Amino acid sequence: MDKITKKVEGLWTWPIAGVIWLQDRRMEIKIIDVFDRAQFIEKGRSYLISEYGEEVGKLQIQNSNIEQERNLFRKFADKVPAECRIPTIRDIRLLLEEGYLVICNVNSSALKDTMGILLL
C-alpha cells in the first residue's frame, strides 16, 4: 500500500496516488469533493491555507509532500473527472445502486468539535 499510495515516511498520506493506481487498472472512479484540485494545482500551499485556515493549512503543509501531491493532482486531473461540491446522501445511494463501492473521507477533528467525542 505504501508503494501504491506513494507514502512518504513520516508524512501524511493523500489518497490521489491510490486513485490513479485504481484508474490505471481500469477501475471507473467518480469523485465528489469540495477540494478544488485546480486551485491546489495552481496555488499549492496558499490554497490550503485559504481553504482550511492558517492552523489546519500549516499542519497539512508540515505533514505532507505538497509538491509531490500537486504533481499527482496534475496527472489525476486528466484521468479522473471530479465534481467540486459537497456530496449528499442521495449521491451515495445512487452510486451504491449503480454498483460502485463508496469511500467517505471523514474529518474526525470536525466530528470531535461538533459532537464532543472522537470517533475512530
Assess whether pLDDT exceeds 60 at residue 116.
no
Q: Which three cell numbers stand for residue 67?
A: 509538491
Dump pLDDT digits (tens) for 32-74.
999 999 999 999 999 999 999 999 999 999 999 999 999 999 9
- What pTM, to 2 d.p., does this model score? 0.79
Helix (H), strand (E) counts: the chain: 6, 2
Rounded CA Rg of the chain: 15
Among left, alpha and beta (phi > 0; psi -120 to 50; other), residue 87 is: beta
Domain boundaries, the chain: 1-86, 87-120
Structure confidence at residue 75 (pLDDT): 87
Structure confidence at residue 80 (pLDDT): 79
